[in-house]
Amino acid sequence: MASFHPTRREIVLVLILTTLMCFILQFDLSLKFTDSKGSDSLLGFKVGFGNRYENEWDNKRIPSTAGSSSDDPDVGAKTAKIAGMSEAKVKWDDKGGNTMTTVLGHAPGWTIFDQIYLFNGTWYIVTDNPSSVPLLRLMVSTGNEIWNDEESIKGREPTEKDMRIIFPSEAKRLWGNSASLVSGATFLVNDPPQFLDHYYHFAAELLVGLWRTYASLDPTINAQGVTHLPSPSRMMMPHTPAGKWNDYAKMNSFLSRAIFPSMSYEYQNDFLDRADTARAFMLERVVFADRAAAFRGPEFGKTWRTASEAVTLAASKYWWSPIRKNLIEFVGGSNGDLDLAGDVGLGIGLDAEPDVDLIALEEEEGALEEEKEEMLEKMRKEKQAKMGKPVITYVSRQEWGRRMLLKEGHESLVKELKELEKKYNWEVNIVSMDKLSRDEQIRLSARTTVMMGVHGNGLTHLLWMNNQNPRSTVIEFFYPGGFAEDYEFTSRALGIRHYGIWDDQAFTAPDTPQVAYPEGFQGNEIPLNGKVVADLIVQRLLVEKPEKAQRETTTELEYAE
């Protein structure tokens, strides 16, 4: 029989086919047998369709240090998958290692848990090192209404019904070797509805605090609002009946569904239904917010704002960008409104001081009026062409019936703003926000460079201003001697300059007064010198050297000692 002598071509073909077969078999096996993290395949992919919780505790975890952010590149991916029907239960071995709860981040009132358990309406932290867990009273309360009498304060202290720390052996005794999996990230609001039905408290405290806490897990959030964090899967409100968290204009639900369109909601009855099953649920990741617990933190004592505790957690300087981006896209804002890193109003990047001080030039003695006016006009046009047209928005409360300017103060301000519009060709808007649709309110706020008004709910819209524009400014009018931190703190948290006005006196951080509510604070006779406000606007837009565009918001929040 003649011997077979393969040609070089046939040998090459056999080698190619063999290599392809190896690739196919390896990829197929990796789908079937990968571990919880996914195994590296020859193709360079990680595929993780196995049991995500098998040996999970053996992997590197993130320390629960307040003020730190995660250095784990998988921190967002851990909750990015949707549990399949075969993953309804989380199971562990007799050693109970996989029952462990991890605290990923914590500040008083704001805590991130991985693998926290809910059983009979009580939260369970399972750990073999209880001393590593923050004090319960700094994470949770009873959820009772918040009043300042001694009995109410004591009534908010947590009990074993609210949250417990247990060893894995106790978890095994209570639940055996499994619990039902609730996958994805959960925003847990452990507050009564007392403050939730108010736009400021919901948006500028709860939403700001929740997102700042969650965003601490992703230090890579960029100016365009791109983040590795999965959208939260649900918001749970154990103490709030359905509908009781919405403000009268339904702005709260509007924001939530605009920013987090995939998020579902569970209310008091839903929470009780889970408890009624008498079964344990393991929640994959929970951002746990508790207003009363935040009251016990040091930062709250300085600002009286619960979100001030959350802002101590380290985060990207662009941490707020994903929220603003999603909302502005939802309301159909223009590209200019959405330009998170570009020039809006007077724009970023104008780091040089103006060549000429306009105010000084206008006051210069001996200059011929005609020559001076021509020079000023030329300078204005050149500056306007470089910097774009700023937008000034006065949020008027004159038809609100409470906390209003004196008639002459309002008229003085309107007159001065109209003069600025005429002189500098700036856009000036004098609006009652309740007369605009929600879309119009947000679009206008997104375009606004300088927002002003009497202390009140309308200033909450500063949340949607471009906080990356170094000229962005909030000017708040108070009854002389009165001061509240609400919008001053919120502005600083976002990196926006805030000024308070007492008639003809302006102040800004770090030289802010003590919080005070004197007689007249809530009244309708708040005095205001419109010329002082107009001069401040000119100073911010034309005279002051723009602040550094990429500001560290954490540093901005530090008051000078």
pLDDT in tens, 404-441: 999 999 999 999 999 999 999 999 999 999 999 999 99
- Least confident range of 85-99, 245-259, 446-460: 85-99
Residue 37, pLDDT score:
36
pLDDT score for 83 = 79
What is the pLDDT confidence band of residue 58, given thresholds at 50, 70 and 90? very low
How big is the CA angle at 207 (ends 205 and 212), to the nearest 5 degrees? 95
User: What pLDDT was estimated at residue 24?
Assistant: 57
Average pLDDT of the chain is 83
Which candidate, 462, 450, 513, 518, places its Cα nearest to that of 490?
A: 462
Lowest mean per-residue pLDDT among 22-31, 223-232, 276-285: 22-31
Taking the C-alpha atoms of residue 492 and residue 560, their distance in angstroms, rounded to an integer, is 13
Q: How confident is the model at residue 543 (pLDDT cuts 50, 70, 90)?
A: confident
What does the block give as tokens for 105?
């981040």
- Read off the tokens for 68: 């730190």
pLDDT greater than 70 at residue 449: yes
Running DSSP on this structure, what letter comes out for residue 275?
Answer: H
**CA gap 328, 331 in Å, rounded:** 5
Return the pLDDT at 176.
92
| Residue 265 CB partners (closer than 8 Å, separation 6+) | 234, 235, 236, 237, 242
- Rounded to an integer, what distance in angstroms lies between the CA atom of residue 327 and that of residue 319? 15
- Helices (H), ranges, 245-349: 251-259, 268-276, 291-295, 298-303, 307-310, 321-330, 335-338
**Cβ neighbours, 10 Å, residue 240:** 23
Query: Which residues, in sequence order, are bridge partners of residue 429?
Result: 393
Q: Which CATH class is domain 381-543?
A: alpha beta
pLDDT tens column, 107-166:
999 999 999 999 999 999 999 999 999 999 999 999 999 999 999 999 999 999 999 999
Would you give the end-to-end CA distance of the chain in angstroms? 99
Beta strands in 335-426 (DSSP E): 391-395
Contact 482, 506 (CB under 8 A): no
Angle between helices 321-330 and 438-447 in degrees, nearest 10: 130
Confidence bin at 352 (pLDDT 50/70/90)? very low
Q: Using CB atoms within 10 Å of the CB of residue 459, give its burial: 0 to 12 exposed, 13 to 18 middle, 19+ buried.
A: buried
Amino acid identity of 77?
Answer: A
Please, are residues 170 and 280 in contact by the beta-carbon 8 Å criterion?
no
Percent with pLDDT over 90 in the chain: 68
User: Whose structure tokens read 């300017």?
Assistant: 405
- C-beta pairs of 251-257 under 8 Å, 24+ apart in sequence: 251/199, 251/203, 251/438, 252/196, 252/197, 252/199, 252/202, 252/203, 254/438, 255/202, 255/203, 255/207, 255/327
305 pLDDT higher than 90: yes
Least confident residue range of 14-28, 151-165, 230-244, 447-461: 14-28
Task: Tell me the residue length of the chain.
Answer: 561
Residue 549's contacts (CB-CB under 8 Å, 6 or more residues apart) are: 348, 349, 351, 468, 469, 470
Q: Where in the chain is the domain with CATH 3.40.50.720?
A: 381-543
Q: Which residue has the higher pLDDT, 51 or 107?
A: 107
Q: How confident is the model at residue 76 (pLDDT cuts 50, 70, 90)?
A: low
**Dihedral of CA 135/139/141/146: which sign?**
positive
Q: What is the mean pLDDT of residues 58-77?
A: 41
CA atoms within 13 A on the CB side of 397: 23
Q: How confident is the model at residue 507 (pLDDT cuts 50, 70, 90)?
A: very high
pLDDT band for position 347 (cuts 50, 70, 90): very low
**pTM score of the predicted model:** 0.79
* Strand duo 178-189 + 281-289: pairing: parallel
What are the φ and ψ backbone dihedral angles of 507, each rounded to 5 degrees? -145, 155
Residues 365-377, mean pLDDT to the nearest whole number: 64
Question: What pLDDT is attached to residue 402?
Answer: 86
Question: Between the CA atoms of 407, 409, 411 and 417, what dihedral angle is there, to the nearest 10 degrees?
Answer: -150
Structure tokens at 48: 């993780």
Q: Which secondary structure element, helix H or strand E, spans residue 487, and what is its range?
A: helix 486-494
In this structure, of 231-245, 297-311, 328-342, 414-428, the range with the lowest mean pLDDT score is 328-342
Residue 198 has a pLDDT of 95
The answer, yes or no, to whether residue 464 has pLDDT greater than 60, is yes
Q: What pLDDT shows up at residue 298?
A: 97
pLDDT one-digit tens code per residue, 180-237: 999 999 999 999 999 999 999 999 999 999 999 999 999 999 999 999 999 999 999 9
pLDDT in tens, 526-536: 999 999 999 99
Which residues, 6+ apart, have CB-to-CB distance to 218 below 8 Å? Answer: 69, 70, 75, 76, 227, 228, 229, 316
pLDDT(22) > 70? no
Q: How far is CA 387 from the centre of its chain?
A: 28
